[in-house]
Amino acid sequence: MIAIVKHGAKKEQIDNLIDWFKKRGLETHLSVGEFTTIIGLIGDTSRVDIELIEGLDIIESVKRISEPFKSANRKFHPDDTVVDIGGIKIGGGNFQLIAGPCSVESEEQILEVARSVKASGATILRGGAFKPRTSPYAFQGLQSEGIDLMVKAGKTAGMPIVTEIMNTNHLPLFEEVDAIQVGARNMQNYELLKELGETGKPILLKRGLANTITELLMSAEYILAGGNKNVILCERGIRTFETYTRNTLDLAAVPVLKELTHLPVIVDPSHATGSAKLVKPMALAAAAAGADGIMIEVHTDRAGPACAPPPPRTPEQFDDVADRVRRIREVIS
Amino acid sequence: MIAIVKHGAKKEQIDNLIDWFKKRGLETHLSVGEFTTIIGLIGDTSRVDIELIEGLDIIESVKRISEPFKSANRKFHPDDTVVDIGGIKIGGGNFQLIAGPCSVESEEQILEVARSVKASGATILRGGAFKPRTSPYAFQGLQSEGIDLMVKAGKTAGMPIVTEIMNTNHLPLFEEVDAIQVGARNMQNYELLKELGETGKPILLKRGLANTITELLMSAEYILAGGNKNVILCERGIRTFETYTRNTLDLAAVPVLKELTHLPVIVDPSHATGSAKLVKPMALAAAAAGADGIMIEVHTDRAGPACAPPPPRTPEQFDDVADRVRRIREVIS
Amino acid sequence: MIAIVKHGAKKEQIDNLIDWFKKRGLETHLSVGEFTTIIGLIGDTSRVDIELIEGLDIIESVKRISEPFKSANRKFHPDDTVVDIGGIKIGGGNFQLIAGPCSVESEEQILEVARSVKASGATILRGGAFKPRTSPYAFQGLQSEGIDLMVKAGKTAGMPIVTEIMNTNHLPLFEEVDAIQVGARNMQNYELLKELGETGKPILLKRGLANTITELLMSAEYILAGGNKNVILCERGIRTFETYTRNTLDLAAVPVLKELTHLPVIVDPSHATGSAKLVKPMALAAAAAGADGIMIEVHTDRAGPACAPPPPRTPEQFDDVADRVRRIREVIS
Amino acid sequence: MIAIVKHGAKKEQIDNLIDWFKKRGLETHLSVGEFTTIIGLIGDTSRVDIELIEGLDIIESVKRISEPFKSANRKFHPDDTVVDIGGIKIGGGNFQLIAGPCSVESEEQILEVARSVKASGATILRGGAFKPRTSPYAFQGLQSEGIDLMVKAGKTAGMPIVTEIMNTNHLPLFEEVDAIQVGARNMQNYELLKELGETGKPILLKRGLANTITELLMSAEYILAGGNKNVILCERGIRTFETYTRNTLDLAAVPVLKELTHLPVIVDPSHATGSAKLVKPMALAAAAAGADGIMIEVHTDRAGPACAPPPPRTPEQFDDVADRVRRIREVIS
């Protein structure tokens, strides 16, 4: 880490700051230039709060030179992590299609969707039981009943299941869940991440709406630091000024993450775009960008939608996407 | 709410959608124009998921016409809400200065800061015991010990206290805390909001880094819907492409919120800017914009910082800010 | 267009506004609801400034119902536009690879790159003669000499050329240029767009750093309105908070644009990502998303870079990208 | 400038890069750490394209240590620049209110507004003759006739005038204009900036919608580098995800700019917010933040708006804003 000292800082102020760094166990290296003085910090800077130093009057800016994430860092773990979700491997060359409805609504619905997506080549079933909703008046999911239905549908179809958690108190309900999803809004709910780090369950961690790639990795680090090595990262769109799509899918995050970390990286085009017609082209683009998996919402409710967004609504549509994704995987291999 | 139908949608599709709305208890009003067909929805549209409808193939866009927040809406509650924090009123013309360190570090520290900010005119003491940190390796706060020290400092100085909660399981520790803060990263931790809605405590709700004004109000709505009417909103900067400041302080949010809602609105210039020198001008600007209070970090640690950001570090500096803020309040009154 | 009137607006104010609309030749339709009053505007609303109406005290918001772009709108021109760049067709199923260096630096350099990219399958040569640079002290391009070298290289290699214009006064220099590029920073330089609308040249219009899809189409509309129908749109990344990549490539813009407009849409992964390693995965993703072409920077200067970004530096690397792009085109067809 | 080399870069690659830097006249200083290698660059790095270096395979990131702007930099010019606009000084403690309509529409209109704002304390008259409009079908301003009317109104009211330029070819029309405005959309129209640098006219340079503070200063640098020292910077809102206001007014940019540069800094709350009601609180906040001036749109058209946004429409309203701004200036002095 280097701290760039402001033009005009007094020697006494700089000396005080260096003393303060030394008390925190850091070695310092002072470099005085014509217009700029730089303090290099050597040692375990992952414990130093970069914002703290940046806030000081005499500091112009602080720049990390090594990444603040360790367990997630490919530099120290060059081999791909392969996460096993109920017998289905993801990462390290293993690509999976995760599909299912936004919300579990009824036994009939989830069983039909599970059967249908399995037939089209999906290998993991997704479906929400606890739903994070902007409005307290909106449908909040079937909750524990929804989890039971997911477990039943997964067993019936012979597919492992993934579903979202919103509260550490609900953990006992997730015993038969194969992979636990942390939604975008909870990406920095550190208390939740810490508790998930103490389970052995695969965790599907979604990127927050306005979180950087580094912050996503730091949230993964919370889980890894607790001893749980089974983390899958998910790009699902970031918030920008563009309003045509619900969010802006940042597909470059896929190759960036694949370089920075050994963890598997998947993409959710359904939530990112919020539009039925965009799921197919964005799923194909995600595959072309090198994702280890794609998570797509599939609905069989032909009468109308029960949860957003409803793309590839029929098994035929999903089938087509799945087939082309497989062929794109061949092109990039 | 109005749903604008895509050019080219078939009559049968539109009829199906109208049926589906009707099943959800909504009255519909169809208006067919030369290039556009609009479905007006009348009834309790707060239960309709706008993203769901937007995701449909035949829908071009959906626009809410009435705000989705009710309890927080000034239209239905024209009078300002006044929140009482341990005897100190905020809102409805009552302006308060909230001050204290970022983190509680020791009894000596928090007692000294409390004494000092009280003398300068602060009326509420702030200080973090549970700290949300990007890195799992960074200092996470003194936690329950920190709460005890805050309570002691508040009593000694004769000031009510506010401190952040990160986990519903910690609620019992907050019994003697006068106001509970929900940090930016937890603004959409709905499980936490729901539980805080069941307490009677004043809640200081910070705007998330990438959350809209409407979403902030919807998160307040979660607390209000639970029966807790004591919500204070806090603008603390949003994330943009600008890197000179840590975040971009959105001061226009203050008059916008004052128009939309009856809840008090305060501003935190310290976290928004992340820079010592910017706290004073931004505090004065916040007062001029009509904020009901300002929350400033004050440190007395002259040897160095213990938490970011350290601005108005001395009592004299804070005194100067407090005095000018008071005079600006007179100008705008 | 509909204008939603604020709760509490007086009848007289609404009547005044309706009169004002009528004077501007618009028919109005008033709909008074329990909480909301809506004024529907019928007629040529493309001449109404939406921001003007939104700024009025009694207006809550204004929503366009029909798109403000006409000539670019697929609704009125369902067939794909095919643009002919010096005999090479783009759009309507015709896919092209545009390649070349960022800046023209010397005759030797541009001739070598042209030869090399042609051999790998590029069909159009790109290269900057006038360079928009953030700093007035940076290299501003070879300017008119650079145009001459581009023309010569294009003729030698048998490829049409595209190069950027920054000033309407330079138009005479572009006589032998096959397609004129408008850079991101000039996307809303309306005076430039108007003049280009009066030429018959193909215009490659890049999306501005913080411009919406609608604004890109409105800028295209400036050129089309002038009588020049040969516009190609280019997605090249938008500015967000993410700092790992130079910009965030918005690939969903490709299928969105393909639905909204009949104009060809290409992608520039080099400038969007600013990183050598990301060009290949993003080029493949752009092809999978349905782009009509991809524009890639190619350098043959093995000793070092002369302009950013240097990806697929060798003919072999570009060859590999070109080959896989072709195969992805087959998968999505 | 420092270039951080990627982990795993080969010695030969690093040596090549160092050679390449040396050929460009830069001294280099290599520092090899356990996990990181840093190349320090000494010399005139303002000529080095930072994006170029960042795009190299072996480079992790590049960080400027000294600002790339020189003539605008307060480090080298500690004293405030005072710009004289037709006898009215701005900067260096001189605060000015600039007021007038968005567009000049008629002689009667501009004369009435000029008289009215002068009476309320405005010292400079603003009004658009050339209007940058998103739509080619919208009113584009009275153009040269508008300039004539502005000149006449300024002379009649005894006020200097400022109006926007969009095309270098129009420069001859601006001879009697006291200050020339460069709008947000043209902030990086470098050809325009270069030509304005060759005039002696005061230039009011507006920040682009998605431009950083550094980029604004670099655009000022284009004008300064041409020999024109009379540049006034204007914050007018940046584009974010928030949709309640037209843009997000970044008031922290005011004290940041005041620290970085000696140039005067003003604020335009009318265009930033796009809402009549927000102009007053944001004007007061801008004054409190330390702006050297405020630019407000004032309309006297009581029947309806002719251009957006119409705030402080009556002389009485503007009078109130002007009075409070003066009193806030006293508080912060």
pTM of this prediction exceeds 0.95: no
Please give the distance of CA A147 from its chain centroid, rounded to a whole number. Answer: 21
User: What is the predicted pLDDT for the residue at C311?
Assistant: 46
Distance from the Cα of A69 to chain C's closest Cα (Å) equals: 15
Chain segment D3-44, per-residue pLDDT in tens: 888 877 888 888 888 888 888 788 888 877 665 677 888 777
> CA-based angle A14:A17:A19, to the nearest 5?
110
Structure tokens at B298: 């004050």
Please write down the HEC assignment for all residues of A271-286: HHHCCHHHHHHHHHHH
Kindly write down the DSSP assignment for every residue of A4-41, as one continuous string.
EEPTT--HHHHHHHHHHHHHTT-EEEEEE-SS-EEEEE
Kindly state the helix (H) or strand (E) to which residue B294 belongs, with its residue range. Answer: strand B293-297
Whose tokens are 């007094």? That residue is A10
Q: Are A291 and A94 in contact, with CB atoms under 8 Å apart?
A: no
Q: What is the distance in angstroms between the CA of the first residue and the CA of the last residue of chain D?
A: 37
Gyration radius of chain B's alpha carbons: 23
- Pick the more confident residue, C144 or D305: C144
pLDDT band, residue B305 (cuts 50/70/90): very low
What chains are in contact with B, requiring at least 3 Cβ pairs below 8 Å? Answer: A, C, D
Please give the distance of CA D185 from its chain centroid, rounded to a whole number. Answer: 11
Gyration radius of chain C's alpha carbons: 23
Across D172-194, average pLDDT: 97
Which are the contacts of A96, defined by CB distance < 8 A and separation ≥ 6? A85, A88, A89, A90, A123, A124, A266, A292, A293
User: What is the predicted pLDDT for the residue at D50?
Assistant: 76
Q: Are C261 and C74 in contact, with CB atoms under 8 Å apart?
A: yes
Q: Which chain C residues have a beta carbon less than 8 Å from that of B239?
A: 241
Whose tokens are 């008289």? That residue is D115
Portion of chain D with pLDDT greater than 90, in percent: 66
User: What is the predicted pLDDT for the residue at B242?
Assistant: 95
CB contact under 8 A, D47 and C190: no
CB contact under 8 A, B308 and A54: yes
> CA-based angle D181:D182:D183, to the nearest 5?
110
pLDDT band, residue B296 (cuts 50/70/90): very high
What residue ranges of chain A have pLDDT lower than 50? 302-312
Distance from the Cα of C48 to chain A's closest Cα (Å) equals: 21
**Rounded Cα distance, D99 and D120, in Å:** 10
User: What is the predicted pLDDT for the residue at A35?
Assistant: 59
Q: Which of A36, A210, A239 sits opposite D65 (nearest CB)?
A: A36
> CA-based angle B132:B133:B134, to the nearest 5?
130
**Rounded Cα distance, C233 and B230, in Å:** 51
Tell me which residues of chain D have a C-beta less than 8 Å from any C-beta of chain B: 210, 212-214, 238, 240-245, 248-256, 259, 272-273, 277-278, 281-282, 284-290, 324, 327-328, 331-332
Q: Which chain D residues have a beta carbon less than 8 Å from that of C47?
A: 135, 137-139
User: What is the predicted pLDDT for the residue at A34?
Assistant: 61
CB contact under 8 A, B218 and A135: yes
**Rounded Cα distance, B306 and B269, in Å:** 18
Give the chain D residue nearest B288 (alpha carbons).
Answer: D285
User: What is the predicted pLDDT for the residue at A301?
Assistant: 61
User: What is the predicted pLDDT for the residue at B47?
Assistant: 67
User: What is the predicted pLDDT for the residue at B91?
Assistant: 98
Q: Which amino acid is at B97?
A: L
User: What is the predicted pLDDT for the residue at C26?
Assistant: 84
Which are the contacts of B18, defined by CB distance < 8 A and separation ≥ 6? B28, B30, B39
Q: What is the distance in angstroms between the CA of the first residue and the CA of the last residue of chain B?
A: 38
DSSP E strand stretches across B140-242: 161-165, 179-182, 203-206, 231-235
**pLDDT tens, position by position, for chain C (333 residues)?**
888 888 778 888 888 888 888 887 888 888 776 656 788 887 777 667 777 788 777 888 787 777 889 999 998 999 999 999 999 999 999 999 999 998 999 999 999 999 999 998 999 999 999 999 988 988 899 999 999 999 999 999 999 999 999 999 999 999 999 999 999 999 999 999 999 999 999 999 999 999 999 999 999 999 999 999 999 999 999 999 999 999 999 999 999 999 999 999 999 999 899 888 899 999 999 999 999 999 999 877 644 444 333 444 566 778 899 999 999 999 998
pLDDT band, residue B185 (cuts 50/70/90): very high
Q: Which chain A residues have a beta carbon less than 8 Å from that of B275?
A: 54-55
CB contact under 8 A, A240 and C238: yes
User: What is the predicted pLDDT for the residue at D314?
Assistant: 64
Alpha helices per DSSP H over C182-265: 190-197, 213-225, 253-260
Across B138-161, average pLDDT: 96
CB contact under 8 A, A136 and B190: yes
Q: Which chain D residues have a beta carbon less than 8 Å from that of C23?
A: 304
Residue B20 has pLDDT above 90, yes or no: no
**Rounded Cα distance, B105 and B128, in Å:** 9
CB contact under 8 A, B65 and C241: no
Chain segment B27-72, per-residue pLDDT in tens: 888 877 665 678 888 777 766 777 778 877 788 878 777 788 999 9
Q: Which of C242, C252, C328 sits opposite A282 (nearest CB)?
A: C252
Q: Which chain A residues have a beta carbon less than 8 Å from that of B190?
A: 132-133, 136, 166, 185
Following CA atoms D33, D37, D41, D42 in sequence, which dihedral angle do they give, to the nearest 10 degrees?
A: 10
User: What is the predicted pLDDT for the residue at D1?
Assistant: 80
User: What is the predicted pLDDT for the residue at D67?
Assistant: 80
Q: Are D122 and D99 in contact, with CB atoms under 8 Å apart?
A: yes
Q: Which chain B residues have a beta carbon less than 8 Å from that of D64?
A: none
User: What is the predicted pLDDT for the residue at A307?
Assistant: 40
CB contact under 8 A, B275 and A54: yes
User: What is the predicted pLDDT for the residue at C89?
Assistant: 98
Alpha helices per DSSP H over chain D: 11-23, 50-54, 107-119, 144-157, 190-197, 213-225, 253-260, 269-273, 276-288, 315-332
User: What is the predicted pLDDT for the residue at D8?
Assistant: 78
Whose tokens are 């080549």? That residue is A121
Q: Which of D65, D66, D239 sits opposite A241 (nearest CB)?
A: D239
Q: Which chain B residues have a beta carbon less than 8 Å from that of A68?
A: 134-135, 137
Q: What is the distance in angstroms between the CA of the first residue and the CA of the last residue of chain A?
A: 38
**Rounded Cα distance, C39 and C51, in Å:** 16
User: What is the predicted pLDDT for the residue at D66?
Assistant: 74
Tell me which residues of chain C have a C-beta less than 8 Å from any C-beta of chain B: 2, 4, 7, 33, 35-36, 38, 42, 63, 65-66, 75, 210, 239-241, 243
Q: Which chain A residues have a beta carbon less than 8 Å from that of B305?
A: 20, 52-53, 55-56
Q: Which of C36, C210, C241 sits opposite B65 (nearest CB)?
A: C36
- Pick the more confident residue, D292 or D315: D292
Following CA atoms D324, D325, D330, D333 in sequence, which dihedral angle do they give, to the nearest 10 degrees?
A: 150
CB contact under 8 A, B288 and D290: no
Q: What is the ipTM of this complex?
A: 0.90
**Cβ-based contacts under 8 A for chains A and C:** 124
User: What is the predicted pLDDT for the residue at B9?
Assistant: 84
DSSP A316: H
- Pick the more confident residue, D160 or D38: D160
User: What is the predicted pLDDT for the residue at D309?
Assistant: 37
Q: Considering chain B, what is the average pLDDT of its residues?
A: 90
User: What is the predicted pLDDT for the residue at C33?
Assistant: 65
Residue B149 has pLDDT above 70, yes or no: yes
Q: Which amino acid is at C47?
A: R
